[in-house]
Amino acid sequence: MTERQRPAAEEGHGCLGILTNARTVAHTVFATPGPGRVADPVVDRVQKARAVVGALTTFLLISVYGVDGGWSAVAEDGFTKLFLAPLVLILVGPLVVAGFIWYAPPSHRPLLRARLRYPLRAIAWFLGAPAVAVGAVIGFAFLAKVLDDYYLAQMLVYLVTLVVGIPVLVWAAAFVFFASGAAARYAFNTADVHAALPAVLTAVLVWVLNLVQLGDGLPNGPLAVRIAAFLGGPASVTAVSCWELYILRNRYGVRVRG
């Protein structure tokens, strides 16, 4: 049974049901394969292994040399990157995608442009869901203020806000939380445009993020350690992305210009 077919009864009730539903929708929007996506289990395992090794290396460096702000700063930096990555991707992604399509053979460009509906749909969900939820709560608050002279009507608005508005706001917050990791991992479904596009986007994104957060959360060790900590993450991600492009080309015949 797929995520789209899961009965509502299996999603739980109350707050747990809201969180489960938000996770299901985020997975459906961002992780459902499209026409251009190529899934290779070896590539997936290597990407996960690189992430684990990177996390362990960071933990080891901070344990040995420490970091300004302590472990709370490390946790804050991690959460910041979780939510910052999709936003940077939304800003930088269009430039990379436009360059990718321009670099493709002219005969392939119409198909690639037609497939842009998949990442555009994902972006619309990522930005639209919280915008609608916040807008609804603000609208309820404004309506309650307008009805200041009508006590019963105002109480009704407050009740609707409590019963409907707050759960919708919680759902939207949970959706953004679950969607942030998936959006960064699947590069807003750009694999549905071209299988090689996420690898290119990831390599660009990781360097942009590193520059945006220049110097944040680096260990307090020698200069060589600080440089390695700063460059090691994006360099390793870029290496894995280049290897992924190699696998796509040699195992599946997927080429950037093919």
Q: Is residue 157 very low, low, confident or very high in pLDDT (cuts 50, 70, 90)?
A: confident
Nearest partner of 41 among 247, 249, 258, 256, judged by Cα: 247
Measure the CA–CA gap between 50 and 236, rounded to whole angstroms: 8
Nearest partner of 84 among 181, 175, 17, judged by Cα: 181
49: enclosing H helix or E strand:
helix 41-65
Would you say residue 11 has pLDDT above 70? no
79-97 average pLDDT score: 82
Would you say residue 79 has pLDDT above 50? yes
Nearest partner of 39 among 257, 258, 256, 251, judged by Cα: 251
Q: What is the pLDDT of residues 183-230, one digit of tens each?
A: 877 888 888 899 999 899 989 988 988 887 765 556 677 888 888 888
Instruction: Name the average pLDDT for the chain.
Output: 81
Share of the chain above pLDDT 90, in %: 23
Q: What is the per-residue pLDDT for 224?
A: 83
Q: What is the per-residue pLDDT for 2?
A: 40
Q: What is the per-residue pLDDT for 96?
A: 92
Higher pLDDT, 201 or 8: 201
DSSP 191: G
Q: What is the pLDDT of residues 129-150, one digit of tens each?
A: 889 888 888 887 787 777 777 7
